A and B are shown apart, each in its own frame.
Chain A
Amino acid sequence: MSTPKEVLSQKKLKAKEELSAAGFFKPLKIYVGSATCENAAGAKEIMKIFETQAGKKDCRDFYLSKKGCVGRCNLEPTVEVYEEGKKTVLYVKVNEKEAEKIIDKHIKVGK
């Protein structure tokens, strides 16, 4: 019989597959802070803006995810952009205009 540790390693493999299927290993990842505080500051609207970019012709493929609150109440909503091989960029006080700028800078093809 396998030990709990062994059972977990199996689950870890499955987790990797599931994440891969969901697109987690794409080279471009966008995280939108979405705790109660971030949502109150407007994070839900920002999330929608990024959602509508997914699959568009002139856009790079990216993985979009929620994340908890890092604690910067006065700077919310926050958006993080992970690009393989580059330093993670943290955007703060993101409004619609700022979100469009992030899209232009990181997501639009040829930029």
Chain B
Amino acid sequence: MPAMSVSEKFKKVFLDDKYSVGQERVALRNVGLIDPENIYDYIYNARGYQALAEVLTDMKPEDVVEAVKKSGLRGRGGAGFPTGMKWEFTAKEKSLEKYVVCNADEGDPGAFMDRSAIEGDPHSILEGMLIGGYAVGAQKGIVYIRAEYPLAVERLEKAFCAARKEGFLGENILGSDFSFDVEIRLGAGAFVCGEETALINSIEGKRGMPRPRPPFPASNGVFGKPTLVNNVETWANIGAIFLDGADSFAALGTEKSKGTKVFALAGKINNTGLFEVPMGTTLKEIVYEIGGGIPNGKKLKSVQTGGPSGGCLTEKFLETKIDYESLAAAGSIMGSGGMIVIDEDSCMVNIAKYFLEFTKSESCGKCVPCREGTTRIYETLTRITEGQGEEGDIEKLELLGEIIKKSSLCGLGQSAPNPLLSSIKNFRKEYEEHIYLKRCRAKVCEKLVDYVINDNCVGCGACRRVCPATAIDGTVKAKHYIYSAKCIKCARCFKTCKFNAVVKETGLPE
């Protein structure tokens, strides 16, 4: 039987609708096709450990590094650094002790690509790490994973035990000179611990705070030893490079971004879920074909990529190709693969506030720009959404954002202002309406709308009784009304009414 390419098998099973047609499964080649808790299923049905066996039989470590370089694979953890180069740096370090680390911290809110990859196919991650260990000369692997992923941890542990029993881990793997073992380190779920230097501190038992780079982990990582840190999805791609060849991997994608990328699609979209597409797929194809469009006939307002480090793109970027460069040029980032679709019912100022609330509380506090800056941005945005915005706020926010980006110690602070800056850039009018007109066109900010009672009112009096400002009047069974001069915009009437009779109005033109 001729071997199917990694992606064909998925299509054979799932080629049923638009959702799967545009997909190419490389990193997730076995996810959903095999039993993740059965090593024999992996070995027999998924060409499991064949890449490792070929590497150990036919290739010298430098050939392995060369193949990864040739594939064009870039890190899937966010920054997109060329993986082969990182492997080369680590391989060139002279040290008897080296480490390879799998970064499974996955801290972006709403992201679950890495969790699914581990839960669906843990052996592919391990096989990638084994090949990496052989290539750079490491004897020890560490998977750093958050404790909030208990099932993923359990499946990894099962996979490691089975691999040890079958001789894929331990001394003289498959009868070769190569010896390697892995262990799991649990993280407590701090976003900053996904940053590689903070992660290394955390592995060493220290407080999870970043340190300046250089020195990079490649020369000075876990316990001061040369360390190769890669993301889960990066590791998952390694096997595919050696199964189907670096050339066939590089045939997918765009000139500078090879292969595929896994995304977690969420928000106002019909098909929420996880999918893997070749680099170069457009946002439009993702939203309207794979994602199946926006529910309830609503209009698309924005697509947010890259999570708390990324940006909000508008409709005019729908033709943007998904690759590292194009997304950056459009003002966002690839990030680790979170993608949130936003429709006209969402307020962009509020969304920026949400992300800044996240980065503010996840900032480790080591450097001032990030610690103080994110807090000031959050306070200002809160003020604006509550109707206390002042002239000059937008300019101050822009300046502050730029300063934080330039002066923070690690990637957390360097990227934290992105959701703010990109939403100002693309939705400045909405900020201005909040500040100058005290109006929220999406009707999300409670203080920035008027409350009006319409003809649905049955005169039950529920709103009148909850109003703390006695701003509502009316007799039983007759339509009530709100004195806008007395209204303090607490929205209690809106939340209490069971007849959809209290509505929000902004008076803004469409």
* A residues whose Cβ falls under 8 Å from a Cβ of B: 1-5, 7-8, 11-12, 14-16, 18-19, 22, 24, 31, 33, 35-37, 39, 65-75, 80, 88, 90
**B296 in the interface, Cβ–Cβ < 8 Å?**
no
Q: Contact at A73–B272, with CB atoms within 8 Å? A: yes
Q: Contact at B120–A68, with CB atoms within 8 Å? A: yes
Q: Contact at B274–A67, with CB atoms within 8 Å? A: no
Q: Contact at A37–B40, with CB atoms within 8 Å? A: no
Complex: how many Å from CA A27 to CA B217?
A: 51
Chain B window 355-382, contacts with chain A (Cβ cutoff 8 Å), 1 for yes, 0 for no: 0000000000000000000000000000
- Nearest CB in chain A: distance from B436 CB, A: 40
- Nearest CB in chain B: distance from A39 CB, A: 7
* B residues whose Cβ falls under 8 Å from a Cβ of A: 13-14, 16, 19, 28, 30-41, 43-44, 49-50, 52-54, 56-58, 112, 115-116, 119-121, 149, 151-152, 166-167, 173-176, 270-275
Complex: how many Å from CA A66 to CA B29?
A: 16
Q: Contact at A4–B32, with CB atoms within 8 Å? A: no
- Nearest CB in chain A: distance from B297 CB, A: 18
Q: Which of B58, B166, B270 contacts A74 (CB 8 A)?
A: B270
29 A-B residue pairs with Cβ-Cβ distance under 8 Å, sorted by A, are A4-B52, A4-B57, A4-B174, A7-B53, A7-B167, A7-B175, A8-B50, A8-B174, A12-B43, A15-B43, A15-B44, A18-B40, A19-B41, A24-B41, A35-B151, A36-B112, A39-B151, A65-B35, A66-B35, A67-B120, A68-B30, A69-B116, A69-B120, A70-B31, A71-B116, A72-B273, A74-B270, A90-B13, A90-B14
A16-B44, A71-B275, A72-B271 in contact; A35/B175 too (CB < 8 A)?
A: no
Q: Which of B13, B39, B149 contacts A36 (CB 8 A)?
A: B149
Work out how many contacts link A and B, with CB atoms closer than 8 A: 117
Complex: how many Å from CA A33 to CA B151?
A: 13
Q: Which of A2, A14, A19 contacts B175 (CB 8 A)?
A: A2
- Nearest CB in chain A: distance from B15 CB, A: 10
Q: Besides the contacts A3-B57, A68-B116, what 7 more A-B pairs have beta carbons closer than 8 Å?
A: A4-B57, A8-B50, A11-B167, A12-B43, A66-B37, A73-B274, A74-B271
- Nearest CB in chain A: distance from B269 CB, A: 9
- Nearest CB in chain B: distance from A11 CB, A: 6
Complex: how many Å from CA A90 to CA B32?
A: 12
Q: Contact at A70–B44, with CB atoms within 8 Å? A: no
Q: Contact at A5–B270, with CB atoms within 8 Å? A: no
What residues on B are CB-neighbors of A7 within 8 Å? Answer: 53, 167, 174-175
A11-B166, A73-B274, A88-B13 in contact; A35/B116 too (CB < 8 A)?
A: yes
Q: Which of B58, B151, B173, B273 contacts A73 (CB 8 A)?
A: B273
Q: Which of B44, B57, B112 contacts A37 (CB 8 A)?
A: B112
Q: Contact at B121–A68, with CB atoms within 8 Å? A: yes
What residues on B are CB-neighbors of A65 within 8 Å? Answer: 35, 38, 41
What residues on A are CB-neighbors of B120 within 8 Å? Answer: 35, 67-69
Q: Contact at B273–A71, with CB atoms within 8 Å? A: yes
Q: Which of A22, A67, A72 contacts B36 (CB 8 A)?
A: A67
Complex: how many Å from CA A11 to CA B42?
A: 11
What residues on A are CB-neighbors of B13 within 8 Å? Answer: 80, 88, 90
Closest to A69 in B: B116
What residues on B are CB-neighbors of A39 within 8 Å? Answer: 151
Closest to A24 in B: B41
The listed residue with most A CB atoms (<10 A of its CB), out of B31, B40, B52, is B40
Q: Contact at B173–A69, with CB atoms within 8 Å? A: no
Complex: how many Å from CA A70 to CA B37?
A: 16
What residues on B are CB-neighbors of A22 within 8 Å? Answer: 38, 40
What residues on A are CB-neighbors of B14 within 8 Å? Answer: 70, 90
Complex: how many Å from CA A18 to CA B175?
A: 22
- Nearest CB in chain B: distance from A73 CB, A: 4
Complex: how many Å from CA A39 to CA B273?
A: 15
Complex: how many Å from CA A70 to CA B262?
A: 12
The listed residue with most A CB atoms (<10 A of its CB), out of B32, B54, B112, is B32
Q: Which of B44, B54, B273 contacts A5 (CB 8 A)?
A: B54
The listed residue with most B CB atoms (<10 A of its CB), out of A2, A35, A37, is A35
What residues on B are CB-neighbors of A8 within 8 Å? Answer: 43, 49-50, 53, 174
Q: Which of B16, B151, B152, B174 contacts A90 (CB 8 A)?
A: B16
Complex: how many Å from CA A80 to CA B13?
A: 10
Q: Contact at A36–B40, with CB atoms within 8 Å? A: no
Complex: how many Å from CA A70 to CA B9?
A: 13
Q: Contact at B31–A68, with CB atoms within 8 Å? A: yes
Complex: how many Å from CA A25 to CA B28?
A: 24
- Nearest CB in chain A: distance from B215 CB, A: 35
What residues on B are CB-neighbors of A72 within 8 Å? Answer: 19, 271, 273
What residues on A are CB-neighbors of B38 within 8 Å? Answer: 19, 22, 65
Complex: how many Å from CA A75 to CA B33?
A: 17
Complex: how many Å from CA A40 to CA B49?
A: 31
Q: Contact at B52–A33, with CB atoms within 8 Å? A: no
The listed residue with most B CB atoms (<10 A of its CB), out of A12, A33, A39, is A12
Q: Contact at B36–A74, with CB atoms within 8 Å? A: no
Q: Which 8 A-B residue pairs are closest in the complex by CB-CB distance?
A: A68-B120, A71-B274, A70-B32, A4-B174, A15-B40, A8-B53, A4-B56, A15-B43
Complex: how many Å from CA A72 to CA B209?
A: 36
Q: Contact at B32–A68, with CB atoms within 8 Å? A: yes
What residues on B are CB-neighbors of A2 within 8 Å? Answer: 175
